[in-house]
Chains A and B, each alone.
Chain A
Amino acid sequence: AQKITQTQPGMFVQEKEAVTLDCTYDTSDPSYGLFWYKQPSSGEMIFLIYQGSYDQQNATEGRYSLNFQKARKSANLVISASQLGDSAMYFCAMREGPAAGNKLTFGGGTRVLVKP
Chain B
Amino acid sequence: NAGVMQNPRHLVRRRGQEARLRCSPMKGHSHVYWYRQLPEEGLKFMVYLQKENIIDESGMPKERFSAEFPKEGPSILRIQQVVRGDSAAYFCASSDYSGNTIYFGEGSWLTVV
Contacts and interface: CB of A to CB of B under 8 A. Distances in A.
Interface residues of B, number: 27
20 contacts: A43-B89, A43-B109, A44-B1, A44-B107, A45-B43, A45-B91, A47-B1, A47-B101, A50-B101, A91-B43, A95-B99, A101-B56, A102-B31, A102-B33, A102-B48, A104-B35, A104-B45, A108-B41, A108-B42, A109-B42
Interface in B41-59: 41-45, 48, 55-56, 59
The interface residues of chain B, by DSSP majority, are classed as: strand
Interface of B: 1, 31, 33, 35, 41-45, 48, 55-56, 59, 89, 91, 93, 95, 99-107, 109
Interface string A27-45: 0000001010100000111
B45 A103 contact: yes
